[in-house]
Amino acid sequence: MTYQETITYLFNSTPLFQNIGQGAYKEGLSNTHALDEYFGHPHRTFRTIHVAGTNGKGSCSHTLASILQSAGYKVGLYTSPHLVDFRERIRVNGTPVDEEFVIDFVAQHRHFFEPLHPSFFELTTAMALHYFSQQQVEVAVIEVGLGGRLDCTNIISPVLCIITNISFDHTGLLGDTLSKIASEKAGIIKPHTPVIIGEHTGETLPVFMHEAEAQQAPITLAQDTLLYTNKESHTDHDIYRATPYGDLRVQLRGFCQEKNVNTQLHAIEQLRVRGYDISEEAIHKGFANVCQLTGLMGRWQELSTSPRLVCDTGHNIGGFRYIVPQLQAQPCKTLRIVFGMVNDKDINGVLALLPKQATYYFTQASVPRALDSESLQSLAARHGLQGATYPTVQSATQAALNEADKDDFIYVGGSSFVVADLLATW
């Protein structure tokens, strides 16, 4: 098979979450353990850092990988979902997995995994760990796919665990209260392994403290100690003042990144204490060049300056609590929002947060889970949001560009898959 035929095979022959949602989730780790044993427990050949959380885990994973890369380590990075190409999920020092490796992996091992009927994520995780072992990475940053306790990444024995934050998402699988969701995320905490909690609430803190105590895991509550004094915004970067490493130029610019940066600074301290040789120069380089070094896309990513067009993969209430104030803070003549969501999110909860003083372009991503634009328009109208419908993200974005003045601001988002459709043809 060619690379494209192999990817089509993976998408069509394994349950894919982006297509069918909850039906693709396989509870339990039996398939994961079977695949791990078959490949000879590849994750035991390198060190790992495990990152969970409702929001921010992708930004944290990429930034830590960028810093470790800059420090001279050979770094694996496993994240999801991809936006344009499957190979984005599996990187070594920022370079996506080889197409030939993907082809050979399926061709050589399908005789074993096909009878297991693994999910897409189970198989992709096995592929990533196998690839990192073959590439002889020194450390891999592993992002949890969903939850934590039963996520198939949870077979690793990391040197550091990070839980960025907890908010409502995937409630049908993880629970309908913050404490239940926190309990699932806390499942990544390992015996005697330090864990950093980026943000906590009165409801989630007891869950984290109880699990850390049970595992005798040293716990750091990052939000209780701010490791910078203030943030200064510039056109294409932010400056975080008076960190332990001086003033930091940070490439990622969303309002949500303020909490993420503090979590990352605590993570760096923990890694340095545990013998990682991470110089201040590497820290500065990693923060300032995360997109170039790791290929990160879709985090308050500016694609045009006149008019300004920004896309962001935020897709739930927790994310939009940061995105909406940032939209409202934009100096512009007209705010234009290209918007679509998938059908298993708290759509009304997000719509209730969105600014009413904006022109909307309701659309749908090219995945089966996408809510159709007419239904989205109808729901939005109940929240005082007005706009026309468009069959594709591309047509909606083009309409916004055609109608925009050079001083307008265009935001494209609501779903990772909306951003993926935009970037695929930008």
pLDDT in tens, 321-342: 999 999 999 999 999 999 999 9
Q: Render pLDDT for 193-242 as a digit per residue (tens, 0 to 9).
A: 999 999 999 999 999 999 999 999 999 999 999 999 999 988 889 999 99
Could you tell me which residues are beta bridge partners of residue 246? Answer: 243, 244
Q: Where are the alpha helices (DSSP H) in 71-195?
A: 99-113, 120-134, 171-174, 178-185
As to burial, measured by CB atoms within 10 angstroms (0-12 exposed, 13-18 middle, 19+ buried), residue 249 is middle
Mean pLDDT of 147-175: 85
Model confidence band, residue 315 (pLDDT cutoffs 50, 70, 90): confident
- Who has greater pLDDT, 372 or 20? 372
Could you tell me which residues are beta bridge partners of residue 337? Answer: 360, 411
Q: Token pair for residue 262? A: 């503090």
As to burial, measured by CB atoms within 10 angstroms (0-12 exposed, 13-18 middle, 19+ buried), residue 230 is exposed
Residue type, 306: S
**Angle ∠(128,10,64) on CA atoms, nearest 5:** 30
Model confidence band, residue 161 (pLDDT cutoffs 50, 70, 90): very high
Percent of the chain with pLDDT over 70: 95
Model confidence band, residue 345 (pLDDT cutoffs 50, 70, 90): confident
User: Three-state DSSP class for 316?
Assistant: coil
Predicted pLDDT at 417: 94
Listing DSSP states for 332-373 in one string gives -S-EEEEE--BTTS-HHHHHTTS-SSSEEEE---SSTTBPPH
176 pLDDT above the threshold of 90? no
User: What DSSP character marks residue 235?
Assistant: S
Taking the model in full, what pTM does it have?
A: 0.93
Predicted pLDDT at 17: 45
- Residue 369: CB partners within 8 Å, gap ≥ 6? 18, 19, 20, 21, 342, 343, 344, 417
Instruction: With residue 140 as reference, give the H or E element that holds it.
Output: strand 139-143
97 pLDDT above the threshold of 90? yes
Q: Provide the edge-to-edge strand list for the sheet that holds 47-52.
A: 95-96, 90-92, 75-78, 139-143, 47-52, 160-163, 195-197, 219-221
Predicted pLDDT at 20: 44
User: Cis omega before residue 307 (within 30°)?
Assistant: yes
27 pLDDT above the threshold of 70? no
Q: Token pair for residue 134? A: 């073959």
- Answer whether 207's CB lies under 8 Å from 182's CB: yes
171 pLDDT above the threshold of 60? no
366 pLDDT above the threshold of 80? yes
CB atoms under 10 Å from CB of 19, counted, come to 14
- Answer whether 55's CB lies under 8 Å from 350's CB: no
CA torsion 299-325-245-286 (nearest 10°) is: 10
- Answer whether 383's CB lies under 8 Å from 368's CB: no
- Answer whether 266's CB lies under 8 Å from 219's CB: no
Which pairing describes strands 301-305 and 308-311: parallel, antiparallel, or unpaired? antiparallel
Q: CA-to-CA distance for 165 and 186, rounded, in angstroms?
A: 11
CA–CA distances in Å: residue 15 to residues 18, 19, 23, 36, 155 = 9, 8, 7, 19, 21
Q: Token pair for residue 44? A: 């035991």
Mean pLDDT of 111-126: 94
Q: Which domains does the chain have, with CATH numbers?
A: 3-294 (3.40.1190.10), 301-425 (3.90.190.20)
Q: Render pLDDT for 50-67 as a digit per residue (tens, 0 to 9).
A: 999 988 999 999 999 999
Helix 120-134 with 30-38: angle, nearest 10 deg? 30
Q: CA-to-CA distance for 253 and 316, rounded, in angstroms?
A: 18
Instruction: Report CA 395 to chain centroid distance, whole Å.
Output: 26
CA–CA distances in Å: residue 424 to residues 7, 81, 253, 409 = 16, 14, 22, 21
28 pLDDT above the threshold of 80? no
